[in-house]
Amino acid sequence: MARDFDDFPTYDPIIKNHIYLSNVWADFMATFVETLQGYLGSYGTFIPIVPLADRNLIQEPQEGQMIYVPEGNIPASPRTAQLQMWQVVAGVGQWTVIV
DSSP secondary structure code for residue 27 in this structure: H
91 and 64 in a single domain? The answer is: yes
DSSP secondary structure code for residue 48 in this structure: P
Residue 1 has pLDDT above 50, yes or no: no
66 and 81 in a single domain? The answer is: yes
Show the domain range for 4: 1-45
Residue 93 has pLDDT above 80, yes or no: yes
Where b means 16+ CB within 10 Å and e means fewer, 48-60 reads eebeeeebeeeee
91 and 60 in a single domain? The answer is: yes
1 and 41 in a single domain? The answer is: yes
The total of other beta-carbon atoms located within 10 Å of residue 30's CB is: 14
8 and 24 in a single domain? The answer is: yes
- What's the total number of domains in the chain? 2
30 and 64 in a single domain? The answer is: no
- pLDDT level of residue 2 (50, 70, 90 thresholds): low
- pTM beyond 0.85: the answer is no
Over range 19-40, report the average pLDDT. 78
The total of other beta-carbon atoms located within 10 Å of residue 96's CB is: 14
Mean of pLDDT over the chain: 76
- pLDDT level of residue 25 (50, 70, 90 thresholds): confident
60 in Cβ contact with 39 (< 8 Å): no
61 and 34 in a single domain? The answer is: no
**Higher pLDDT pick, 88 / 18:** 88
